[in-house]
Amino acid sequence: MLTIRNMTPRLWHFAFATLTPAALLAAGAFWGGPWILATVIYLTAMTSALDRLIKPNGTATDQQSDTLLSVLIVMAHFALLPLVVGALAGSSLQPIEKAGLFFAAGLWYGQVSNANAHELIHRQSRALHRLGMWSYITLLFGHHTSAHVLVHHQHVATYDDPNTSRKGESLYRYIIRAWIGSFQKGYIAERDKLTRVGRPASRNPYVVYVGGAALCLSVTTWLGGWQALLAYVALCAYAQSQLLMSDYVQHYGLLRAKRPDGKPVPVAAKHSWNSPHWFSSALMLNATRHSDHHAHPGRHYPALTLPKDAPMLPRPLPLMASIALIPPLWRRIMDPRVEKWRDA
């Protein structure tokens, strides 16, 4: 078991990057004002500045002793959610403070907590997997647990994967298609898996995903009324959009060629976009090293590397996600790069 004292220096980078904004969010929910401003600056301007100032680093460290940090992030996830929703629904903060808190919390949940939940659903430990699953359920996105592992990793860079964005497809159209498609295909994958092993349909984890979401919505309404329910649903939708924006950017336009038998060629480094930028990578637990993750789904995030033959984004992943909000600009930047890698 990892303790604070034996965390490697590299893991301290991840801990600082991910937990500092969580602490600032908690302070902002209680006291508003400068704490909320500090969180917004941390997750935007400061992250961008450090990405520019610090030389990119594609090396890895040992994949040991990273579980404690993942558990701490999950604990922050569960603690912050009612705290932030209560502050958004309450009367102690001014409207501009609520807007800032909502913006910052959505970024943290969509970029940091999502990356951590993604890490956990790939773990072999049942307890850690369930922590990741419940992180997604509390964001009303539980089906991603099944869809990501059973559908995305199997069909990535093909039209059978709802989360592979297509060249020329706008982010807005993609979000709708990917959400609905991943929900449906994840359910079918789980149903077929149960059929193969002879288990009843009631064992489908979608029962937990949908039931857990209903429970979260009911408890939120019971404790905070319709104002809290509205704040909770809006925050979850914002966090989900951040996750889908990452998928959109990291797989835009990259497709696997088909072999003579009609099956796609194996997944390679050239089928995911990556980012070498140091601080945003630490903030997102190396989710930016996406090619290596698809090559080794069980590899822990500190051990992920940047393959030399992998496509690289021209700017940090969070900035590219912001550019994707403007489809003409996005296509002007990315479509030529897609064509280069399609011909590689």
Give the mean pLDDT of 53-71: 74
pLDDT category at 11 given cuts 50, 70, 90 is: confident
Side-chain-side CA neighbours of residue 77 (13 Å): 28
Distance CA 17, CA 184 (A): 35
The confidence score (pLDDT) of residue 6 equals 42
Instruction: Give the residue from 270, 285, 280, 293 showing the smallest Cα distance to 321.
Output: 280
Q: How far from 75 is each of 83, 105, 231, CA to CA, in Å?
A: 13, 15, 21
Give the mean pLDDT of 87-95: 96
Distance CA 243, CA 240 (A): 5
Query: Does 83 have pLDDT greater than 60?
Result: yes
Give the mean pLDDT of 215-241: 98
pLDDT category at 8 given cuts 50, 70, 90 is: very low
Name residue, tokens 């990892």.
Answer: 2
The tens digit of pLDDT for each residue in 272-294 reads 999 999 999 999 999 999 999 99
Give the mean pLDDT of 297-306: 92
Distance CA 180, CA 303 (A): 33
The confidence score (pLDDT) of residue 54 equals 83
The tens digit of pLDDT for each residue in 100-120 reads 999 999 999 999 999 999 999
Cβ burial 193-212 (10 Å sphere, 16+ → b, else e): ebeeeeeeeeebbbebbbeb
Distance CA 274, CA 79 (A): 31
Within 10 angstroms of residue 252's Cβ, the number of other Cβ atoms is: 27
